Amino acid sequence: MTLSLPPSLLSKKIICPAYVAAPFDSKDRFRFQALHAFVILKVVRRHLKLGYKLLALEQRQNGARIDISFETPQGKRRMNEVKSARNLNEAHFNQAALYWSPRWDEVAVSNGEKDVILTEDQIRTIQHQAEITRELLINCPDLAASTFTPNKATCNICVNDRCPHLPKKIPEIR
């Protein structure tokens, strides 16, 4: 049995196997997509100024979407995972590493301010952690669902009501 999770979810499950994504309503989704598009433009502009050649935007690869791909001035193929967050975090690096394939010479995580290039060791380590996480989710789903790992990269966007590390929500009175 195999478990196929999108890199956006698996990147967070590597950190906390019990992570549950908060649902997006259409208004939040539109706001997120607009902000993401704005940051993509900033990243493209910054790279073009540095002599990079734009290869593709929002390219499909293995059921996922690569935000941007460039050719560096040295002729390397770079894949950029773009984040609208001001501060890049562990989940962002995990997600970028999960997109790696042999066609990319470099994998970078970019926001409106900077680019962080992942090392080959980082990519290998994250991909290994992803395999371990998939195995846990498949073979021990109850253990995974109760393995709570508090982390700034996931807790603020998690809605697992069983997690002892998240503040308890007070039910609304109607």
Q: Where are the domains of the chain?
A: 7-155
- Report CA torsion sign: 75, 92, 11, 60: negative
Buried residues in 121-131 as b, exposed as e (16+ CB within 10 A):
ebbeebeebbe
CB atoms within 10 A of CB 134: 18
Q: What is the pLDDT of residues 91-116, one digit of tens each?
A: 999 999 999 999 999 999 999 999 99
Q: What is the pLDDT of residues 53-71, one digit of tens each?
A: 999 999 887 777 899 999 9
pLDDT score of 2 more than 90:
no
The reported pTM is: 0.89
pLDDT score of 85 more than 60:
yes
Strands (E), 48-146: 53-61, 64-71, 77-82, 106-110, 115-117
Helix (H, G, I), strand (E, B) or coil at 136: helix
Cα dihedral: 107, 109, 114, 118 (round 10) = -50
Helix (H, G, I), strand (E, B) or coil at 117: strand
Distance separating alpha carbons of residues 165 and 159, to the nearest angstrom? 11
